[in-house]
């Protein structure tokens, strides 16, 4: 394996979470094989839900930052997003999907997320 590093910070050994082995790093693509249809569709649906979740969260953060939300609204929105985030984690686990799997490779269009 050639050394492709042009720059690396010192102490990279302790990068926090250990980086995963190759089968975790390789993204799993949407599989339209009929036998795996259910899992592939779960991946598709969860990816879209994840996209919406990220968009909504970002919108909420923007409105929180520009002061257009009351404290109560911030709290309620935060609770909702936390619950949604936990539910997403449960659904991912149910289908054996990792966070990195919730992406769609659209070929020439690049990745969705």
**CB count in 10 Å sphere of residue 74:** 14
| Shortest separation between residue 94's beta carbon and other proteins, angstroms | 16
Largest CA distance in the chain: 55
Q: Which is nearer to other proteins, 31 or 52 (CB)?
A: 31
| Shortest separation between residue 65's beta carbon and other proteins, angstroms | 6
**CB count in 10 Å sphere of residue 102:** 24
| Shortest separation between residue 108's beta carbon and other proteins, angstroms | 5
The first and second tokens of residue 15, run together, are: 């990068």
DSSP-based three-state secondary structure for 8? coil
Using CB under 8 A, list all residues that contact other proteins. 1-9, 11-20, 22-23, 25-33, 37-38, 40-41, 44, 57-58, 60-61, 64-65, 71, 74-82, 85-86, 89, 99-100, 103, 105-111, 113
| Shortest separation between residue 80's beta carbon and other proteins, angstroms | 7
Task: For Cα atoms 92, 35, 51, give the angle at the middle one, nearest 5 degrees.
Answer: 30
């Amino acid at each position: 394996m050639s050394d492709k590093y042009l720059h690396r910070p010192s102490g990279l050994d302790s990068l926090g979470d250990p980086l995963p082995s190759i089968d975790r790093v390789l993204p799993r693509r949407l599989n339209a094989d009929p036998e795996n249809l259910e899992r592939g569709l779960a991946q598709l649906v969860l990816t879209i839900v994840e996209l919406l979740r990220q968009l909504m969260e970002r919108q909420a953060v923007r409105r929180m930052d520009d002061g257009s939300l009351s404290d109560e609204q911030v709290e309620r929105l935060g609770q909702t997003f936390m619950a949604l985030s936990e539910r997403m984690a449960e659904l991912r686990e149910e289908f054996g999907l990792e966070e990195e799997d919730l992406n769609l490779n659209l070929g020439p269009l690049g990745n969705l997320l």
